[in-house]
Each structure stands twice: as C-alpha cells, then as structure tokens.
Amino acid sequence: MTAKKEYWQINTERIADEIRSAASEARTEEDLKMRVEPILRKSFKDIGVDIDIVAYEKAFPKGPQPGGSGEGGWRTTK
C-alpha cells in the first residue's frame, strides 16, 4: 500500500485529463458517472478519504404503506 498523500500532492491536471477523456467517450450521463467514479474514488483513497461510507439516494413510491399517508408520488431517502 502506498503512503497517504496530502491533498496538495494530488495531480489535479491528470485527474482533469482523465475526466475529460471519460466525458468525451461517454454516451449518456449514467455512462459518464460510471467512468468518472473510479477516477475520483482513487484520488480520494490516495488522500485518505473514506469513500466506503457513501450512500446513494433511493426513490420509493409513496402509495399506501403502513403508517404512510397513502398519497401518491415518490419519497426519497438516503
């Protein structure tokens, strides 16, 4: 394992070039997200940021649920 880098030791020009390349090859927004995530994940890991605690939002239908209002639509949660 490599030693943790300080934030100022990260080569931001390289990261920008990698993201730019990923963006030019991506066909959809989701494709871009999937290409950029590993680039950022590595950079965060290099400076010691715990990225395993990330939680994505999930959408659930609001329909009739135990204890719910029964109104239609969607609710989000993390």
14 inside domain? yes
**What residue numbers bound the domain in which 55 lies?**
7-77
- Could you read off the pLDDT of 24-36 as tens digits, one per residue? 999 999 999 999 9
CB of 18 closer than 8 Å to CB of 39: yes
Over residues 8-37, the mean pLDDT reads 93
CB of 78 closer than 8 Å to CB of 71: no
pLDDT confidence bin for 68, thresholds 50/70/90: low
Q: How far is residue 39's CA from residue 61's CA, in Å, rounded to a whole number? A: 33
44 inside domain? yes
Q: Per the structure, how many domains does the chain have?
A: 1
1 inside domain? no
31 inside domain? yes
Q: How far is residue 59's CA from residue 31's CA, in Å, rounded to a whole number? A: 20
Q: Which residues of 37-66 are buried (b: 16+ CB within 10 A; e: fewer)?
A: eebeeebebbeeeeeeeeeeeeeeeeeeee
